[in-house]
Amino acid sequence: MSLSHHLPPPPGDPYYVYAPHPYPDTQRQGVLTLFVAGLPDDVKPREIHKLFSSRPGFDHCLLEYTGRGNQVVAFVSFVNHQAALSAMSALNYVIPGVKYPDHREYSGTVFDPDTGDRLHIELAKSSSRKRHGDGGVYRVVDKRLKRKERAADHENAGDGGNDDDAWGEDDNGGNDGDGGSDEPLDTENDDSDEKNELPAERSSGQPGLKQHRGQSLSDDQPDKLSSDIPPCSTLFVANLGHSCTEEELKEVLSKQPGFHLLKMRRRGGMPVAFADFTDIESSTAAMDALQGTVLASSDADGLQIEYARSKMRKS
DNA sequence: AGCACA
């Protein structure tokens, strides 16, 4: 019902860019996945996550480093077509947390004001398939690494036409157009034209079924991202600013029911913290409540909170 | 995308 709602455009904002008109009723009708281009090469999965996860109907995301220049694309899927369209309309001109120097709240399709990179969002050619199973799934495909590994492993002739698509030797500046959305994944059963709006139902039906894939990207590699850490009464807190202190973080955490104690660790780079709670229920509630919280010391986004991989020792 | 302490 509220799926079609989105933030209104800023009145008189010269930076406002109207979203491309939704595709006519030809193709891509019923597609659940958005194709996102124009991302900087150093974009982090969590940045994509923050852009889309709060959109109504968000389901899962695939981030792909294409290896061509600094092109990074994402395939973001929603539970139904309307939700995908709504998110596309909204995010084509609303980038939360990104402002112009004059504090303009809405920034069109500019993703990073420093670089001027602009997001380009459209419906994908086909719906992405969530990796079998459940849970919020984030997948990352890094073709830059794959090419390097392949080159270094040149002597090995064991892999006969495995997965990759055509890799030009050094086609750096060649094709920029991204004149369309490459398809994120082969739909395992070629049913992309039906009006099904409940993707989870069909996709979980045929585990392990493989199909030919000509130039589609490989989808059989293990997940790189672990958003499937089992619940734990201890939370892992990352994305803290350099200057974040234990006191500052504890001030926020201590307001959460069931909070026990906090430990911070600095391993050279950014500090991380472990926050212990009485039980999983309270740690989960605290994670939900504080996810993305921006502290005064934050120099990037807000707090990134996950379940810790092991419970804090009793003291 | 970074997980220690016993």
Tens of pLDDT along chain A (315 residues)? Answer: 433 333 344 444 444 344 444 444 477 889 999 998 888 888 877 788 778 877 888 888 888 888 777 678 899 999 889 889 888 888 776 555 555 444 544 444 567 777 776 788 899 999 998 765 444 466 777 777 554 444 444 434 333 333 333 222 333 333 333 444 554 544 333 333 333 333 333 333 333 323 333 223 333 334 444 457 899 999 999 999 999 999 999 999 999 999 999 999 997 788 999 999 999 999 999 999 999 999 999 988 899 999 999 999 987
Residues 6+ apart with CB under 8 A from A293: A252, A302, A303
pLDDT of residue A190: 37
A267 touches strand B (CB under 7 A): yes
pLDDT of residue A15: 41
Distance CA A304, CA A137 (A): 16
pLDDT of residue A137: 60
A85 shares a domain with A143: yes
Residue A26 in domain = yes
A297 shares a domain with A151: no
Looking up tokens 């602009």, which residue turns up? A118
Residue A125 in domain = yes
Q: How far is the CA of A182 from the C1' of B3 (A)?
A: 36
CA distance to A60, A90, A179, A264, A302, per residue, from A122 (Å) = 16, 12, 11, 42, 27
Residue A227 in domain = no
A73 shares a domain with A184: yes
The residue from A154, A182, A203 where one domain ends is A203
If you measure CA to C1', which residue is closest to nucleotide B1?
A225
Q: How far is the CA of A259 from the C1' of B5 (A)?
A: 17
Q: How far is the CA of A251 from the C1' of B6 (A)?
A: 26
Residue A31 in domain = yes
Residue A130 in domain = yes
CB atoms within 10 A of CB A312: 18
The residue from A183, A203, A223 where one domain ends is A203
Residue A222 in domain = no
A121 shares a domain with A170: yes
pLDDT of residue A65: 84
A304 touches strand B (CB under 7 A): yes
A76 shares a domain with A163: yes
Q: Number of folded domains in chain A?
A: 2
Positions on chain B within 7 A of a protein C-beta: 1-6
Q: Report yes or no: A134 and A57 within 8 Å, Cβ to Cβ.
A: no
pLDDT of residue A109: 58
Structure tokens at A51: 């852009």
A307 touches strand B (CB under 7 A): yes
Distance CA A123, CA A126 (A): 8
Residue A158 in domain = yes
Judged on CB neighbours under 10 Å (0-12, 13-18, 19+), A262 is buried
A227 touches strand B (CB under 7 A): yes
Looking up tokens 């996709």, which residue turns up? A203
Q: Report yes or no: A215 and A143 within 8 Å, Cβ to Cβ.
A: no
Structure tokens at A242: 């350099």
A184 shares a domain with A245: no
- CATH number of the domain at A254, please: 3.30.70.330
Q: How far is the CA of A264 from the C1' of B5 (A)?
A: 11
CB atoms within 10 A of CB A202: 16
A291 touches strand B (CB under 7 A): no
A98 shares a domain with A14: yes
Q: How far is the CA of A27 from the C1' of B3 (A)?
A: 45
Q: How far is the CA of A114 from the C1' of B2 (A)?
A: 24
If you measure CA to C1', which residue is closest to nucleotide B5?
A313
A292 shares a domain with A149: no
A58 shares a domain with A178: yes
CA distance to A10, A41, A262, A291, per residue, from A77 (Å) = 27, 21, 36, 21
Quote the domain boundaries for residue A276.
Answer: 234-307
Residue A75 in domain = yes
A127 shares a domain with A34: yes
Q: Which nucleotide is nearest to A240 (CA to C1')?
A: B2
Structure tokens at A66: 């294409």
A277 touches strand B (CB under 7 A): no
The DSSP secondary structure of chain A, one letter per residue, reads -GGG--PPPPTT-TT--PPPPPP-SSSSTT--EEEEEEE-TT--HHHHHHHHTTSTTEEEEEEEE-SSTT-EEEEEEESSHHHHHHHHHHHTT--TT---TT--S--TTEEETTTTEE-EEEE-SS---PPSSSS--EEEEEHHHHHHHHHHTTT-----S-S-----SS-SSS-----SPPPSS--SSS-TTS----HHHHHTSSTT-----SSSPP--SPPS----PPP-SEEEEE---TT--HHHHHHHHTTSTTEEEEEEEE-SSSEEEEEEESSHHHHHHHHHHHTTPPPTT-SSSS-EEEE-SSPPPP-
Tell whether pTM > 0.95.
no
Looking up tokens 């399709």, which residue turns up? A109
Q: Which nucleotide is nearest to A232 (CA to C1')?
A: B3
A147 shares a domain with A81: yes
A175 shares a domain with A113: yes
The residue from A152, A186, A203 where one domain ends is A203
